[in-house]
Amino acid sequence: MSNQSLSFIHDSLPQKIRFGFGEASANLLEEVRTRNAQSVMVIAGEPEMPIAKQVASEIEVAVWHSDVVMHVPIETAQAAREVAVDNQVDLLVCVGGGSTTGLAKAVALETGIPIVAVPTTYAGSEATNVWGLTEEKRKTTGVDIKVLPETVIYDSKLTLSLPVEMSVASGLNGMAHCVDSLWAPKADPINAALAGEGIRALSAGLPKIVEDSQSIEGRDEALYGAYLSAVSFASAGSGLHHKICHVLGGTFNLPHAQTHATILPYVLAFNAPYAPGAEQRMAAAFGTQTGLEGLQQLREKVNAPARLSDYGFSADGIPEAVSIVLEKVPANNPREVTEENFTQLLTAALNGDDPAILSN
């Protein structure tokens, strides 16, 4: 037995969670009443607006805002801030996925208006204090407690209409938060425990959704896992996987969830041999011999996104992506990232090659 003592600093973020099937409207009403909010702004993209109307059916809404754009362009953020200020908004309610939550965060970043988040996907952004804005094809991220939603309302009934294909991509985005948390800059044993349970829950829930898109059990497990993934990520910080995906999204405008889902096995295979503790944690969570084996078995069950080329990325973009990412690699990444081995990683992900080739 090792005599080495534990020494770490762990951040726990102040946030209330309300979790219940079919309870979103009642829970939102309670949150509005508790705050005595007088001017509520509901943010939801056009596809999510019917769900948002349902969720907000018991409250008075001062303004509905539907101008939601992936990766939160700075112009979109500024327009939403102006709407909030002009309407003297004192509570933001965001209903949707990561882009919607991201826009609410961008408003809160400059105004300090509190957020109640009602996620309809498994993105996890609602449980973090991380914001992201895109300007001139560069995505900038930061950390600020002002952007952390004060309350998150989880209701798996709201995810029943999320298509299976998008559910899989979004759930694997959550899984990426878990994996990245195991070797991120501020990884610690508490993050690892949360991440391990998040991996277990997501790997249990996603196949049930694929088998039956109306599976309440599967949707509940996926939401629970997505929350754990986000909490672990918020404390551990952004690792190599997220640095890569922010560049692919911000610079090349690749779709967020699908990009995370595609890149995940390649980063896992790249880092895992150099991080035995993380590897053991992942393997135990999946119930397999190795983390990569467990992830690949899950990906096969759910028909996961497999190639960056399917989403508009091409070999021509690899040199630029490599150049940008190399400047952002966390200093504590388990494996040294070089132009050569990172080019190999992106090439493999572009073509959907076996990620095991990166383990050597």
pLDDT digits (tens, 9 = 90+) for 249-298: 888 988 888 999 999 999 999 999 999 999 999 999 999 999 999 999 99
Cα gap 337→105, rounded to integer Å: 31
For 107, 175, 291, the CA distances from 68, given in Å and listed in that order, are 12, 24, 36
Tokens 């509901």 sit at which residue? 42
**Residue 9 vs residue 303, higher pLDDT:** 303
Pair 218, 205: CB distance under 8 Å: yes
Residue 323, classed as helix, strand or coil, is helix
Residue 89, classed as helix, strand or coil, is coil
The two three-digit tokens of residue 69, written as one number? 């754009």
Predicted confidence at residue 1, as pLDDT, reads: 44
Confidence of residue 3 (pLDDT cuts 50, 70, 90): low
Least confident of 1-10, 16-25, 90-99, 303-312: 1-10
Residue 41 pairs in a beta bridge with 63, 92
The two three-digit tokens of residue 37, written as one number? 């909010």
Cα gap 107→104, rounded to integer Å: 5
**Residue 10 vs residue 259, higher pLDDT:** 259
Cα gap 318→182, rounded to integer Å: 26
Q: Classify residue 310 by burial, with Cβ atoms within 10 Å: 0-12, 13-18, 19+.
A: middle
Pair 122, 222: CB distance under 8 Å: yes
The CB density around residue 119, as the number of other CB atoms within 10 Å, is 29
Average pLDDT for 240-249: 91
Average pLDDT for 190-208: 95
Tallying the residues shown for the chain, one arrives at: 360
The 10s digit of each residue's pLDDT in 327-341 is 999 999 999 999 999
The 10s digit of each residue's pLDDT in 106-131 is 999 989 999 999 999 888 889 989 88
pTM: 0.86
The 10s digit of each residue's pLDDT in 155-189 is 999 999 889 999 999 999 999 999 999 998 889 99
* Of 302, 313, 159, the residue nearest 223 (C-alpha): 159
Amino acid identity for residue 353 in this structure: D
Cα gap 101→196, rounded to integer Å: 25
Please give the domain boundaries of the chain with CATH numbers for all domains.
16-159 (3.40.50.1970), 164-358 (1.20.1090.10)
β-strand pairing of 115-119 with 91-96:
parallel
Predicted confidence at residue 236, as pLDDT, reads: 87
Mention every residue, 6+ apart, whose C-beta is less than 8 A from residue 121.
96, 97, 98, 159, 162, 166, 167, 170, 257
Average pLDDT for 73-83: 92
Mean pLDDT of the chain: 92
pLDDT at 2 over 60: no
Mention every residue, 6+ apart, whose C-beta is less than 8 A from residue 226.
119, 122, 123, 124, 170, 171, 174, 198, 202
Cα gap 337→334, rounded to integer Å: 9
* Of 279, 278, 259, the residue nearest 346 (C-alpha): 259
